[in-house]
Amino acid sequence: MTFKRYHIPIAPAPSRRPWTRVNVHRDLSRCLNCGTCIDSCLYGVHDRRDADTRFMEEPEDHLCRVCFRCVAECPVNALSLEPNVEFTEAGNGLFKPEVLRTIANEAEGGRIPVTGACYRGPFGGQGFDGMWTDMSEIVRPTRDGIHGREYISTSVDVGARPTFLDFRRGGPWTPPRELPVPFVLDVANPGAPPAGILASVVKAAKALDTYAIVPARSWPAVGADLQGHVIVRLSEGETTGFEKTAGVEATYRHGGADLVGLRRSLPHSIVSLRVPVTAYDRDAVDMALEAGVDLIHYTADWKDVDSIDGVNTYIATLRDLHGYLVDRAVRDTITVLASGPIAAAEHVPKTIILGADLVGVDLALYGVMECVPPNHALHLGRFPEDFPLSDVPWGTQRVVNLMNAWRDQLLEILGAMGMREVRRLRGDMGRAIFQDEAEREAFADIKVLAPAKEVVAR
């Protein structure tokens, strides 16, 4: 059998509504039409008019990387950059304007985005910004999964990985399912998606060879050729009719969800227990283990993680979930999928370090397709109902491109850490420094002195 390296089929999928950070203003009363700005710009912002090449065309604002080179080299100071108000007022919570723009750039070509301006922001903060990853092996150029000199695996398993086989039990055994990427597309979080959004996400899941989580009410609209890539999120009382799907997902409720019956009725399907951060307790973990489910889907509604306190709670609870499974010595008997506050490529390795096997992508999918998610206040220009079926190939490709860009950045992280596979990163807290813990440890013995009294000259 010939080894075949996993490949994601990326292709150009330009944004319909490009994010413009700045407006590039050309003062026509000063401009000499000399073309110096064309030579100085590496990103194609400036060009001459097709109809009359003696004159300059209006700048392509959305291509600008804010490097200021054209402004600096213009001989008559005819160029200036101004902040784009529409851009600065877009987004909220985790999805700030720069995050939305980065996601759009990644979705266009499937590559890691490049900016012309250096980062001048803080190097720490709250939430995921309070996690610093260890790059101690970054000097090893041979361990590079992107350029192909040394292969790094991003494959993960869904389901129990037994440490031994017990032949006394008898009956069929379902081995864990292997996914080539640690991503699951969760389109069930905001509610029932319109047909165009649903088709784009499920087709992207098939192209990526992973799963899409869809609500039960949307399940009938999924084509027969796509059913094997779908996990259906059940509504209360629904238990049957999903044998052709990859799996089903029930939501955790105290005293509810007959997981044992669900497991018996679908012995060879993935059975998942969805545990919202607001309902999390260790009883939910015990329930999942006793029922023998394959997956704990630890998640959060967007309103629960729109604040820094919400993200901090999410991080602390995910650490507790992983730690509890380790303490019970059952970590490999169940898979943990974490979704909710995943807004950037860097959140993927950080979520895995916190204890997740897989990462669920939800709100970012709507950002990729330039749609406002249901019950959310992002300013993306159009509503999902305005997403026609004719846009499905475009939407599918943009989701695929985003996942390729995120996988490339995950490979960069793994290579810099000296890791050959993403499975080793799960729960490896030694690969991260938590800012608040580091500061407490570093400054624990330092006493804060009261300010000296002002000396008044007499």
Per-residue DSSP letters for 110-177? SS----SS---S-S--SGGGGEEE--TTTT-TT--TTTTSS--B--EEES---SS--TTS-S---PPE
CA-CA distance, 94 to 314, in Å (whole number)?
A: 13
CATH code of 58's domain: 3.30.70.20
Would 355 be classed as within a structural domain?
A: yes
CA-CA distance, 358 to 352, in Å (whole number)?
A: 7
Q: Which pLDDT does position 395 carry in this prediction?
A: 95
H or E element that contains 186: strand 183-186
My answer on whether 203 and 302 are in the same domain is yes
My answer on whether 223 and 346 are in the same domain is yes
My answer on whether 210 and 282 are in the same domain is yes
Backbone dihedral angles phi then psi of residue 136, each to the nearest 5 degrees: -70, -20
CATH code of 258's domain: 3.20.20.70
Q: Is 50 helix (H, G, I), strand (E, B) or coil?
A: coil
Would 126 be classed as within a structural domain?
A: no
Q: Which of the residues in the chain have pLDDT under 50?
A: 1, 457-458
My answer on whether 60 and 136 are in the same domain is no
Strand partners, 83: 22
- At 362, the amino acid letter reads D
Would 354 be classed as within a structural domain?
A: yes
My answer on whether 153 and 79 are in the same domain is no
pTM: 0.87
| Domain that includes residue 206, residue range | 132-439
Would 122 be classed as within a structural domain?
A: no
My answer on whether 157 and 302 are in the same domain is yes
Do the bridges between strand 230-233 and strand 247-251 make them parallel or antiparallel, or are there none, so unpaired?
parallel
What the block records as the tokens of 214 is 């869809």
Do the bridges between strand 270-276 and strand 247-251 make them parallel or antiparallel, or are there none, so unpaired?
parallel
Q: Which pLDDT does position 458 carry in this prediction?
A: 45
Q: Which pLDDT does position 239 carry in this prediction?
A: 64
How crowded is residue 244: how many other Cβ atoms within 10 Å of its Cβ? 12
Would 1 be classed as within a structural domain?
A: no
CB-based burial, 74-83: b 16+ in 10 Å, e otherwise: beeebbebee
Asked if residue 216 lies in contact with residue 235, where contact means CB atoms within 8 angstroms, the answer is yes
25 CB-contact burial (10 Å; exposed 0-12 / middle 13-18 / buried 19+) = middle
Q: Angle at CA 150, nearest 5°, toward 146 and 154?
A: 60
My answer on whether 208 and 356 are in the same domain is yes
Tell me the CA end-to-end span of the chain in Å, nearest whole number.
93
Q: Dihedral angle at the C-alpha atoms of 84, 89, 92, 97, nearest 10 degrees?
A: 0
Tokens 């895995």 correspond to what residue?
A: 352
Report the domain count for the chain. 2
My answer on whether 74 and 138 are in the same domain is no
**CA dihedral sign, ordered 437, 421, 208, 13:** positive
My answer on whether 59 and 207 are in the same domain is no
